[in-house]
Protein backbone atom coordinates (compact mmCIF):
# COMPACT_ATOMS: atom_id res chain seq x y z
CA UNK A 1 0.00 0.00 0.00
CA UNK A 2 1.35 3.41 -0.85
CA UNK A 3 0.51 6.75 0.64
CA UNK A 4 -0.55 9.54 -1.61
CA UNK A 5 -0.70 13.15 -0.70
CA UNK A 6 -3.93 14.79 -1.60
CA UNK A 7 -5.34 17.62 0.37
CA UNK A 8 -8.41 16.74 2.23
CA UNK A 9 -9.78 17.65 5.55
CA UNK A 10 -7.49 19.96 7.31
CA UNK A 11 -5.55 20.29 4.12
CA UNK A 12 -4.06 16.87 4.53
CA UNK A 13 -3.85 13.91 2.27
CA UNK A 14 -7.36 12.95 1.41
CA UNK A 15 -7.38 11.67 -2.07
CA UNK A 16 -6.39 8.15 -2.23
CA UNK A 17 -7.37 7.01 1.17
CA UNK A 18 -6.47 3.43 0.79
CA UNK A 19 -3.38 4.15 -1.15
CA UNK A 20 -0.08 5.27 0.00
CA UNK A 21 0.86 7.39 2.80
CA UNK A 22 -1.13 10.54 2.52
CA UNK A 23 -4.53 9.45 3.05
CA UNK A 24 -6.18 12.68 2.39
CA UNK A 25 -4.46 15.24 0.42
CA UNK A 26 -1.22 15.44 -1.37
CA UNK A 27 0.46 12.22 -1.80
CA UNK A 28 0.04 8.59 -1.20
CA UNK A 29 3.04 6.84 0.17
CA UNK A 30 3.59 3.27 -0.71
CA UNK A 31 2.37 0.52 1.44
CA UNK A 32 3.35 1.85 4.72
CA UNK A 33 2.44 5.36 4.13
CA UNK A 34 -1.11 6.37 3.40
CA UNK A 35 -2.76 7.60 0.34
CA UNK A 36 -3.27 11.29 0.06
CA UNK A 37 -2.03 14.08 -2.18
CA UNK A 38 -0.27 16.20 0.33
CA UNK A 39 -1.55 15.47 3.66
CA UNK A 40 -1.83 18.77 5.37
CA UNK A 41 -2.58 17.12 8.57
CA UNK A 42 -6.24 16.47 8.27
CA UNK A 43 -6.32 14.28 11.32
CA UNK A 44 -5.23 17.20 13.42
CA UNK A 45 -4.08 15.31 16.48
CA UNK A 46 -2.28 17.55 18.91
CA UNK A 47 0.06 19.90 17.14
CA UNK A 48 3.29 20.52 18.97
CA UNK A 49 6.45 22.49 18.43
CA UNK A 50 9.20 20.51 16.68
CA UNK A 51 11.69 18.99 19.15
CA UNK A 52 14.90 20.97 19.08
CA UNK A 53 18.22 19.24 19.40
CA UNK A 54 21.34 21.05 20.37
CA UNK A 55 23.94 20.27 17.73
CA UNK A 56 26.38 22.97 16.85
CA UNK A 57 25.39 23.01 13.19
CA UNK A 58 24.89 26.33 11.45
CA UNK A 59 21.14 26.32 10.87
CA UNK A 60 19.87 28.04 7.69
CA UNK A 61 18.01 31.30 8.24
CA UNK A 62 14.30 30.73 8.85
CA UNK A 63 14.73 27.07 9.84
CA UNK A 64 15.29 25.10 13.01
CA UNK A 65 16.83 21.68 13.54
CA UNK A 66 14.25 19.11 14.67
CA UNK A 67 15.20 15.80 16.25
CA UNK A 68 11.93 13.97 15.76
CA UNK A 69 10.70 11.47 18.39
CA UNK A 70 10.30 8.98 15.54
CA UNK A 71 14.09 8.84 15.28
CA UNK A 72 14.89 11.02 12.29
CA UNK A 73 16.40 14.49 12.03
CA UNK A 74 15.77 17.30 9.56
CA UNK A 75 15.45 21.06 9.25
CA UNK A 76 11.95 22.51 9.64
CA UNK A 77 10.80 26.09 8.93
CA UNK A 78 10.52 28.11 12.12
CA UNK A 79 7.01 28.36 13.54
CA UNK A 80 5.74 25.14 11.96
CA UNK A 81 4.03 22.63 14.23
CA UNK A 82 4.40 18.86 14.34
CA UNK A 83 1.60 16.30 14.06
CA UNK A 84 2.11 12.57 14.36
CA UNK A 85 -0.55 10.86 12.24
CA UNK A 86 0.54 7.32 12.97
CA UNK A 87 0.88 5.19 9.84
CA UNK A 88 0.50 8.29 7.67
CA UNK A 89 3.71 9.63 9.10
CA UNK A 90 4.77 12.86 10.71
CA UNK A 91 3.60 16.23 9.39
CA UNK A 92 5.14 19.63 9.94
CA UNK A 93 2.55 22.29 9.07
CA UNK A 94 2.75 26.05 8.60
CA UNK A 95 0.50 28.17 10.82
CA UNK A 96 -2.03 28.71 8.00
CA UNK A 97 -1.78 25.04 6.95
CA UNK A 98 -1.11 25.90 3.31
CA UNK A 99 2.41 24.44 3.47
CA UNK A 100 3.74 21.23 4.93
CA UNK A 101 6.50 18.67 5.10
CA UNK A 102 5.49 15.02 5.47
CA UNK A 103 7.87 12.22 6.49
CA UNK A 104 6.87 8.57 6.35
CA UNK A 105 8.35 5.11 6.09
CA UNK A 106 7.56 2.98 3.06
CA UNK A 107 6.77 -0.44 4.47
CA UNK A 108 5.93 -2.34 1.34
CA UNK A 109 8.67 -4.91 0.86
CA UNK A 110 10.48 -5.11 -2.46
CA UNK A 111 9.59 -1.64 -3.73
CA UNK A 112 12.44 0.50 -4.97
CA UNK A 113 12.19 4.25 -4.25
CA UNK A 114 11.29 4.83 -7.91
CA UNK A 115 8.63 2.11 -7.90
CA UNK A 116 7.18 3.47 -4.66
CA UNK A 117 6.69 6.92 -6.17
CA UNK A 118 5.39 5.46 -9.42
CA UNK A 119 2.76 3.60 -7.41
CA UNK A 120 1.99 6.77 -5.48
CA UNK A 121 1.45 8.71 -8.70
CA UNK A 122 -0.89 6.03 -10.00
CA UNK A 123 -3.02 6.24 -6.87
CA UNK A 124 -3.03 10.02 -6.89
CA UNK A 125 -4.31 10.07 -10.47
CA UNK A 126 -7.85 9.74 -9.11
CA UNK A 127 -7.61 13.14 -7.41
CA UNK A 128 -9.27 16.22 -8.96
CA UNK A 129 -7.02 17.86 -11.53
CA UNK A 130 -4.10 15.52 -10.82
CA UNK A 131 -1.06 16.04 -13.05
CA UNK A 132 2.21 14.15 -12.83
CA UNK A 133 4.80 16.76 -13.74
CA UNK A 134 7.92 14.61 -13.48
CA UNK A 135 9.15 11.29 -12.08
CA UNK A 136 12.74 10.12 -12.10
CA UNK A 137 15.82 8.91 -10.22
CA UNK A 138 17.52 12.27 -10.45
CA UNK A 139 17.58 13.43 -6.82
CA UNK A 140 20.09 13.10 -4.00
CA UNK A 141 19.91 13.33 -0.22
CA UNK A 142 23.32 14.61 0.98
CA UNK A 143 25.18 12.10 3.14
CA UNK A 144 22.27 9.66 3.02
CA UNK A 145 21.34 8.64 -0.52
CA UNK A 146 23.48 9.39 -3.58
CA UNK A 147 20.47 8.48 -5.68
CA UNK A 148 16.86 9.18 -4.72
CA UNK A 149 13.61 9.03 -6.66
CA UNK A 150 11.77 12.31 -7.15
CA UNK A 151 8.10 12.88 -8.02
CA UNK A 152 6.60 16.29 -8.73
CA UNK A 153 2.84 16.59 -9.14
CA UNK A 154 -0.04 19.04 -8.86
CA UNK A 155 -3.73 18.70 -8.04
CA UNK A 156 -6.74 20.79 -7.09
CA UNK A 157 -7.17 20.99 -3.33
CA UNK A 158 -10.86 21.61 -2.95
CA UNK A 159 -10.68 22.06 0.79
CA UNK A 160 -8.03 24.76 0.69
CA UNK A 161 -9.43 26.25 -2.51
CA UNK A 162 -6.23 26.35 -4.53
CA UNK A 163 -4.06 24.24 -6.80
CA UNK A 164 -1.29 22.43 -4.93
CA UNK A 165 2.13 21.41 -6.15
CA UNK A 166 4.10 18.76 -4.33
CA UNK A 167 7.63 17.40 -4.57
CA UNK A 168 8.22 13.97 -3.02
CA UNK A 169 11.59 12.24 -2.54
CA UNK A 170 11.90 8.52 -1.78
CA UNK A 171 15.23 6.99 -0.76
CA UNK A 172 17.01 4.28 1.22
CA UNK A 173 19.10 5.25 4.23
CA UNK A 174 22.50 3.64 4.89
CA UNK A 175 20.74 1.57 7.55
CA UNK A 176 18.28 0.21 4.98
CA UNK A 177 15.16 2.17 5.93
CA UNK A 178 12.94 3.32 3.06
CA UNK A 179 11.77 6.89 3.60
CA UNK A 180 9.60 9.24 1.60
CA UNK A 181 9.66 12.95 2.42
CA UNK A 182 7.55 15.54 0.63
CA UNK A 183 6.96 19.27 0.61
CA UNK A 184 3.64 20.80 -0.48
CA UNK A 185 2.46 24.37 -1.03
CA UNK A 186 0.25 26.35 -3.42
CA UNK A 187 1.29 25.70 -7.03
CA UNK A 188 1.98 29.40 -7.57
CA UNK A 189 4.72 29.24 -4.91
CA UNK A 190 6.89 26.84 -6.96
CA UNK A 191 9.88 26.28 -6.63
CA UNK A 192 9.58 27.17 -2.95
CA UNK A 193 8.52 23.57 -2.22
CA UNK A 194 11.71 22.14 -3.71
CA UNK A 195 13.90 24.64 -1.88
CA UNK A 196 12.19 23.85 1.41
CA UNK A 197 12.58 20.11 0.87
CA UNK A 198 16.25 20.34 -0.09
CA UNK A 199 16.98 22.40 3.00
CA UNK A 200 15.01 19.99 5.21
CA UNK A 201 16.91 16.99 3.84
CA UNK A 202 20.35 18.61 3.94
CA UNK A 203 20.85 17.22 7.47
CA UNK A 204 18.46 14.26 7.27
CA UNK A 205 19.47 11.10 9.09
CA UNK A 206 17.70 8.32 10.94
CA UNK A 207 18.49 6.27 14.02
CA UNK A 208 22.05 5.00 14.31
CA UNK A 209 22.89 6.67 10.99
CA UNK A 210 22.81 10.04 12.76
CA UNK A 211 26.17 11.40 13.93
CA UNK A 212 26.67 11.87 17.64
CA UNK A 213 25.88 15.42 18.86
Residue 103 resides in a domain: yes
Q: Once rounded to an integer, what is the mean pLDDT over residues 108-125?
A: 95
Q: Once rounded to an integer, what is the mean pLDDT over residues 172-191?
A: 97
Q: Residue 25 above 60 pLDDT?
A: no
Domain holding 79, by residue range, is 3-47+63-204
Q: Residue 124 above 60 pLDDT?
A: yes
* Mean pLDDT, all residues of the chain: 82
Residue 55 resides in a domain: no
Distance of alpha carbon 42 from alpha carbon 9, whole angstroms: 5
Residue 212 resides in a domain: no
100 to 6, 39, 78, 94, 167: CA distances (angstroms): 12, 8, 12, 6, 11
pLDDT, one tens digit per residue, over 53-77 is 444 569 999 999 999 999 999 999 9
Q: Once rounded to an integer, what is the mean pLDDT over residues 98-119?
A: 96
The domain tally of the chain equals 1
Q: Once rounded to an integer, what is the mean pLDDT over residues 100-122?
A: 96
Residue 213 resides in a domain: no
Residue 70 resides in a domain: yes
Q: Residue 16 above 70 pLDDT?
A: no
User: What share of the chain in percent tops pLDDT 70?
Assistant: 73
Indicate the pLDDT class of residue 36, thresholds 50, 70 and 90. Answer: low
Q: Once rounded to an integer, what is the mean pLDDT over residues 91-100?
A: 98
Phi, psi of 22 (to 5 degrees): -95, 100
Residue 160 resides in a domain: yes
Q: What is the pLDDT of residue 61?
A: 97
Residue 146 resides in a domain: yes
Q: What is the pLDDT of residue 2?
A: 46
Q: Once rounded to an integer, what is the mean pLDDT over residues 18-44?
A: 44
Residue 136 resides in a domain: yes
Q: What is the pLDDT of residue 9?
A: 32
Q: Residue 42 above 80 pLDDT?
A: no
Q: What is the pLDDT of residue 208?
A: 87
The CATH code of the domain that includes 26 is 3.40.1000.10
Q: Once rounded to an integer, what is the mean pLDDT over residues 173-188?
A: 96
User: What share of the chain in percent tops pLDDT 90?
Assistant: 65
Of residues 135 and 50, which shows the higher confidence score? 135
Q: Residue 29 above 70 pLDDT?
A: no
Amino acid sequence: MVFVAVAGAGGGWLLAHGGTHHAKAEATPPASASATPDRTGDDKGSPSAPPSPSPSTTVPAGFQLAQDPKGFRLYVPQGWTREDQGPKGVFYNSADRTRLIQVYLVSEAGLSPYDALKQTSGELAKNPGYQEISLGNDATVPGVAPQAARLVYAYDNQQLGHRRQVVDYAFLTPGGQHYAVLSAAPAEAWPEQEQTLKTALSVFCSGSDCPSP
